[in-house]
Structure 1
């Protein structure tokens, strides 16, 4: 009888007091200050705070904030996994975790909307950009005069195929998990992680050999911001799936309880879809009328 009264009669639970929200906010604040100070240092400027030039600290402030954020992510998510293993992720709690992941992805969509907006604004109205900048940024055409662009059907197409295959692989892993096929789950996740790493290497090679730079023109700025931000998400998604791979090898997921894997799969499919828009809009449509760089 005492056990029956002690057992919760509802689908909610109160989590233990946690330091993670405070540490996450502190780390993000330090990263923000450090990032501004670092950028001011790179351009030779100053960033005075309480009479001290924080630009002189170079990138150390940013790295301290980054380490706090990474530690917070590890600790917070470890606690979440522990709560799930203890049976606290009931039907209602799991539903709310899914709502949280959906809202997070929606916020990420708005980030990419900003980059696409900047690119389309410059591409659709090159005359206005040219007049506002009062310099030879576009020459009134898009791609801008004097800019050699990447061949969209070379490395970008190769990376598109890689991401589409990775999306297929993670779906295979998900179906294997639902059918309690542990070998298929591990193999599908391993293949997805491998393809994600390959994508990052190909994009790094493309950046190294790009015929234009970030600072050369508005074309370079909008190109590298959009594709670079996506590349960062690929790296994050690859790490996310790598953690899921280690957990799958340890037998953590079950057909009925696997939100961590499901969230990673959603994130990866989001990365896939964004890349398709990037490939179609920036690489293909944005290159119409431009001069393809030899060998790119």
Structure 2
């Protein structure tokens, strides 16, 4: 970023092959997924190949963006566009999770009480409008609900701690203390990795000991969709922070110019906030 003052008003990159090559990978993945659903034997292999190709393209695409940034091609206008883009991306993620929280609210507060009303007693006389619910026909069998202790509470502590360590790392970078920033950012990544391990153990416990699966009625489907997608976002945020950590170790970023760090930090704090909502709504209520 040493050439910031000499950079153009707005950097316009040269024509790139990356959008076309990325679209090929996405096309192969989606086509293979459709074939896999229709029981084509070789479809899983082409799906995996398309995914590998997409990751390969993204590796080089982001590498070009990093190279442009480090050689001083990005001015203030580009920095502003990145900030707006990240803000809108996080907003879209808020709407994404809002849809799932809305589905959970509808199932618990509206649909369940309607099924338990007098109008439906002739159809399902034994139905009880109590959450969690096994459904009018109990097709998935009896299961036990998830409780907030110990794994969800431990995971809450892990994510809250990771938010604190990330903030310490960010302030260290702003104060030009690179080694301190590296140590605390590495601690953040480690805490996120521990969260994923704990969540995997929770899923194994749910399937093997609680008989709680994705097919366990609306409770099972909303539980695994909400927590599963959140776990994926933890993985995605951890990947972002790992890339930032590697760049920090390589000497990238300055105290004034480090939006990649800030963007990843925004995303991680968003993931923390979503988990707090999940912890209260899914495990306690």
Which bin holds the TM-score, normalised by the shorter protein? 0.7 to 0.9
Q: Which residue of 2 aligns with 1:170?
A: 166
- 1:44-86 CA-to-partner distances (Å, cap 9, x unmatched) read xx2xxxxxxx733241232122112211221111111111112
Q: Which residue of 1 aligns with 2:84?
A: 99
Contact kept? 1:163, 1:195, Cα under 8 Å: yes
User: What is the TM-score of this pair, normalised by structure 2?
Assistant: 0.86
**Does structure 1 residue 274 correspond to structure 2 residue 270?**
no
Distance (Å, rounded) in 2 between the aligned partners of 1:282 and 1:29: 36
Distance (Å, rounded) in 1 between the aligned partners of 2:250 and 2:6: 30
Q: Which residue of 2 aligns with 1:150?
A: 146
Distance (Å, rounded) in 2 between the aligned partners of 1:17 and 1:128: 57
- 1:260-285 CA-to-partner distances (Å, cap 9, x unmatched) read 11111111111101101111111111
Give runs of aligned pairs for residues 120-269 of structure 1, distance below 5 A. 120-124=105-109, 125-128=111-114, 139-145=128-134, 146-210=142-206, 211=210, 212-269=212-269
Distance (Å, rounded) in 1 between the aligned partners of 2:177 and 2:6: 33
Distance (Å, rounded) in 1 between the aligned partners of 2:201 and 2:242: 23
4+ residue stretches of structure 1 with deviation over 6 A?
Answer: none
| Among 111, 114, 118, the residue aligned to 2:96 | 111
Q: Which residue of 2 aligns with 1:51?
A: none
Deviation at 1:128, TM superposition (A): 4.2
Deviation at 1:198, TM superposition (A): 0.3
Q: What is the SS of the residue equivalent to 2:40?
A: helix
Deviation at 1:139, TM superposition (A): 4.4
Q: What is the SS of the residue equivalent to 1:190?
A: helix
Give the direction of change, closer, same or farther, for the CA distance of 1:135–1:36 in structure 2 (3 Å limit). farther
Q: Which residue of 1 aligns with 2:137?
A: none
Contact kept? 1:122, 1:129, Cα under 8 Å: no
Q: What is the SS of the residue equivalent to 1:148?
A: coil
Structure 2 gap segments, 5+ residues each = 135-141
Distance (Å, rounded) in 2 between the aligned partners of 1:200 and 1:241: 15
- 1:96-119 CA-to-partner distances (Å, cap 9, x unmatched) read 011111111111112111211221
Distance (Å, rounded) in 2 between the aligned partners of 1:280 and 1:66: 35
- 1:2-27 CA-to-partner distances (Å, cap 9, x unmatched) read xxxxx978411220111112222232
Structure 1 gap segments, 5+ residues each = 1-6, 41-45, 47-53, 286-296
Distance (Å, rounded) in 2 between the aligned partners of 1:270 and 1:23: 31
Q: Which residue of 1 aligns with 2:139?
A: none
Q: Which moved more, 1:188-197 or 1:83-92?
A: 83-92
Give the direction of change, closer, same or farther, for the CA distance of 1:164–1:31 in structure 2 (3 Å limit). same
Distance (Å, rounded) in 2 between the aligned partners of 1:248 and 1:164: 23
| Among 9, 12, 22, the residue aligned to 1:11 | 9
Q: Which moved more, 1:28-37 or 1:181-190?
A: 28-37
Q: What is the SS of the residue equivalent to 2:24?
A: helix
Q: Which residue of 2 aligns with 1:288?
A: none
Contact kept? 2:83, 2:263, Cα under 8 Å: yes
- 1:233-276 CA-to-partner distances (Å, cap 9, x unmatched) read 11111111111111111111111111111111111111101101
Q: Which moved more, 1:257-266 or 1:139-148?
A: 139-148
Distance (Å, rounded) in 1 between the aligned partners of 2:10 and 2:150: 52
